[in-house]
C-alpha cells in the first residue's frame, strides 16, 4: 500500500518536473521574442522542441531517480543532481534540435537552462521541505522493525528513533541483548528473539525490517529475507563488510546466480554511457570545426624540419589495454633515442620523465605545448573509443611497470585528454600528488566534474598556462 503510494507520488513528481521544464522553455522563448530581440522561434507551433524536452527530461529524471521522494537527502546533494540534470539535458536538447529542427538559439538555451535549474531545484526543495514537515507530524511514516544485538551500530538506531522528519516509526526492536534492552526499553518495545518474525509481521503493521546485528548470521538473514519477501515487506541489512570493503557495491546476476559485486570506481552506468556518447559527439564536432587549424599545424611541422607530422606512442588504456596515442610531433625525430642521454636531468619524481626546457623540443613544438594544441589529434583516439575527453592521462608501458600496486587503479577509468592535474599546476606537481589527483577524479567522478575540468582546460589553452 505505502510502496504503491510512494510510486504514485514519484510519478506525479516526475510529470510535474517535466511540465515545469516545458513551461520554462515557453516562458523564455516568449520573453526573448517579445522583449529582447526576435529570434524566429514560434513558441506555439514548434512542437518538436517541446517533444524533445518531454522525452529528454522524463528519461533523465527517471534514470537519475529525481522523482522519488527520498527521506534522507541534503540540499547540496539535491542541487548537484539537478545541476547535472540540467547541463546534460540542455546539451542533449541542443544536439537533438540540430538534427531534427532549427537549432535552439544560444541565448534561449542559456536562459532556459538557468530558469530550469532554479525552478526544478526550487520545486524539489519545496516538496522535500513539505514532506519533512508532514513526516515530522507523524504522517507519511513507515513502520520499522529493527533486528539488533549488543554489537549493533547504536548511532543508527538512535537516529531512526529520534529524527522524526525521516518519516520512520520504529515499531519495535527484536533483540536478546542486555544493552539494547537497557538503552531502548523506555523508548520502544523490545521483543525477545524467541518470537517468530513471521507471526509479528502477520499480526502487526510492519513496512520494513532492518537487520543491523554486529554478528552477521547468514542462515538467519536468509530466513528473514524469505519471511519478508513472502508477504511483500521491505528488508534491509547492514553489515560491516559493506563499509569496510567498499561503499560501491551492487547486486549482479550470472544467469540465475546472484553475486554481490564490489567495484572501486563508479557504477553509474547510465552516466558513463552518457559520457561516452558526449565524448563521441563533441569530438566529432570539434574535429570538424578545427580541421583548418589541424591542417595549419600539420603544414607548420612539415615546413620546419620535413619530418613526420604525428607522433604515435604506445600507451596503456582502460584496465591495461595497449593503444597508440596520437599527438602532433613536438620533438626532433630521434627524441626517444636522445632520452637516454637526458635521464639524469629528469625533473619529475617517480617513473615519469619530464624536463621543463627539454632540448629535444622544436620551435613549433614549444608553441604547441604551451597552448596544449599538440594534444588535438587525441580527439581521433576519442572517436575510436580508446580515450575520453576527460580522464587520467594515459601512461606509457614502462611507467606502469614501475607503479606501486595502488597506483594501478588509475587504469580503472578510460584515459583522457585532460584531467585534474592538467588544470592544477600541470607539470609543476610531484608524481605522488599527480597520482593522488587522478585517484580523486576516479573516486568523485561525475558528469558535472567532467564539465568543470573541460571548461578549466579551455581556459588553460587560451591563457597559455600549459607547460
Rounded CA separation 428/348 (Å): 9
DSSP assignment of 250-281, as one string? EEEEETTEEEEEE-SS---HHHHHHHHHHHHH
3-class state of residue 201 by DSSP: helix
Sign of torsion, CA 34 39 44 47? negative
Angle formed by the axes of helices 106-136 and 75-100, nearest 10°: 150
Going from N- to C-terminal start, the domains of the chain cover 2-136, 142-245, 269-463
Rounded CA separation 167/201 (Å): 20
Q: Which of the listed CATH numbers 3.40.50.300, 3.55.40.10, 3.40.50.150, 3.40.50.1380 matches domain 142-245?
A: 3.40.50.1380
The pLDDT assigned to 77 comes to 74
Place of cell 547541463: 87
The pLDDT assigned to 221 comes to 86
The pLDDT assigned to 1 comes to 43
The conformation of residue 356, written as its DSSP 8-state character, comes to: T
The pLDDT assigned to 382 comes to 95
Q: How many CB atoms are closer than 10 A to CB 339?
A: 15
User: From first to last of its 467 residues, what are the pLDDT tens digits of the chain?
Assistant: 445 556 777 888 899 999 999 999 999 988 887 776 655 555 445 778 888 899 999 988 887 778 776 655 667 777 888 888 898 888 888 888 777 666 678 888 889 999 999 999 999 888 877 777 766 666 667 888 888 887 766 777 887 777 766 677 788 888 888 888 888 888 888 888 767 788 888 888 888 888 888 777 788 888 888 888 877 888 888 766 655 555 556 666 666 666 766 666 666 777 888 888 889 988 998 999 999 999 999 999 999 888 889 999 999 999 889 999 999 998 887 777 667 666 666 656 666 666 777 778 889 988 988 888 898 999 999 999 999 999 999 999 988 998 888 888 888 889 999 888 777 655 567 778 888 888 888 888 888 888 888 888 877 777 655 54
Query: How do 208-211 and 142-147 pair as beta strands?
Result: parallel
The pLDDT assigned to 354 comes to 67
Q: For the purposes of burial, counting CB atoms within 10 Å of the CB of 287, is it exposed (0-12), middle (13-18) or buried (19 or more)?
A: middle
Closest CA to 360 of 342, 348, 346: 342
Output the CA torsion 22→28→34→35 (10° steps). 160
pTM for the model stands at: 0.52
The number of residues in the chain equals 467
Report yes or no: 316 and 395 within 8 Å, Cβ to Cβ: yes
The conformation of residue 331, written as its DSSP 8-state character, comes to: B
Amino acid at each position: 500500500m505505502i510502496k504503491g503510494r510512494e510510486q504514485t507520488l514519484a510519478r506525479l513528481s516526475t510529470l510535474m518536473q517535466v511540465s515545469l521544464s516545458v513551461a520554462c522553455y515557453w516562458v523564455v522563448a516568449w520573453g526573448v521574442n517579445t522583449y529582447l530581440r526576435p529570434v524566429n522561434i514560434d513558441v506555439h507551433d514548434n512542437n518538436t522542441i517541446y517533444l524533445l524536452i518531454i522525452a529528454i527530461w522524463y528519461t533523465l529524471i527517471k534514470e537519475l531517480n529525481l522523482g522519488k521522494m527520498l527521506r534522507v537527502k541534503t540540499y547540496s546533494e539535491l542541487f548537484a543532481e539537478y545541476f547535472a540534470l540540467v547541463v546534460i539535458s540542455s546539451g542533449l536538447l541542443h544536439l537533438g534540435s540540430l538534427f531534427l529542427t532549427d537549432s535552439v538559439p544560444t541565448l534561449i538555451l542559456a536562459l532556459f537552462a538557468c530558469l530550469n535549474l532554479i525552478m526544478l531545484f526550487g520545486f524539489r526543495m519545496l516538496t522535500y521541505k513539505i514532506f519533512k514537515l508532514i513526516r515530522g507530524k507523524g504522517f507519511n511514516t513507515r513502520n520499522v522493525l529493527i533486528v539488533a544485538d549488543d554489537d549493533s551500530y547504536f548511532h543508527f538506531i538512535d537516529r531512526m528513533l529520534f529524527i522524526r522528519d525521516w518519516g520512520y516509526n520504529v515499531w519495535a526492536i527484536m533483540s536478546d541483548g542486555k544493552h539494547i534492552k537497557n538503552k531502548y526499553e523506555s523508548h520502544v518495545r523490545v521483543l525477545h528473539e524467541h518470537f517468530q518474525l513471521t507471526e509479528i509481521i502477520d499480526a502487526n503493521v510492519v513496512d520494513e525490517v532492518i537487520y543491523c546485528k554486529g554478528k552477521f548470521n547468514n542462515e538467519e538473514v536468509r530466513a528473514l529475507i524469505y519471511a519478508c519477501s513472502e508477504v511483500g515487506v521491505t528488508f534491509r541489512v547492514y553489515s560491516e563488510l559493506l563499509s569496510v570493503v567498499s561503499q560501491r557495491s551492487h547486486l549482479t546476476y550470472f544467469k540465475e546466480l546472484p553475486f554481490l559485486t564490489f567495484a572501486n570506481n563508479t557504477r553509474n552506468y547510465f552516466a558513463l554511457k552518457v559520457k561516452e556518447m558526449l565524448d563521441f559527439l563533441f569530438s566529432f564536432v570539434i574535429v570538424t570545426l578545427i580541421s583548418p587549424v589541424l591542417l595549419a599545424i600539420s603544414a607548420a611541422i612539415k615546413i620546419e624540419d620535413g619530418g613526420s607530422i604525428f607522433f604515435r606512442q604506445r600507451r596503456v588504456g582502460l584496465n591495461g589495454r595497449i593503444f597508440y596515442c596520437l599527438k602532433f610531433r613536438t620533438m626532433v625525430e630521434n627524441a626517444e633515442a636522445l632520452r637516454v642521454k637526458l635521464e639524469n636531468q629528469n625533473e619529475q619524481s617517480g617513473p615519469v620523465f619530464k624536463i621543463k626546457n627539454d632540448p629535444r623540443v622544436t620551435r613549433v613544438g614549444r608553441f604547441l605545448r604551451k597552448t596544449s594544441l599538440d594534444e588535438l589529434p587525441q580527439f581521433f583516439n576519442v572517436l575510436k573509443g580508446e580515450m575520453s575527453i576527460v580522464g587520467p592521462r594515459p601512461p606509457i608501458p614502462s611507467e606502469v611497470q614501475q607503479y606501486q600496486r595502488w597506483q594501478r587503479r588509475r587504469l580503472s577509468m578510460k584515459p583522457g585528454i585532460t584531467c585534474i592535474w592538467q588544470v592544477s599546476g600541470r607539470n609543476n606537481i610531484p608524481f605522488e600528488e599527480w597520482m593522488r589527483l587522478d585517484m580523486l577524479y576516479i573516486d568523485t567522478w561525475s558528469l558535472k566534474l567532467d564539465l568543470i575540468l573541460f571548461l578549466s582546460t579551455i581556459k588553460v589553452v587560451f591563457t597559455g598556462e600549459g607547460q
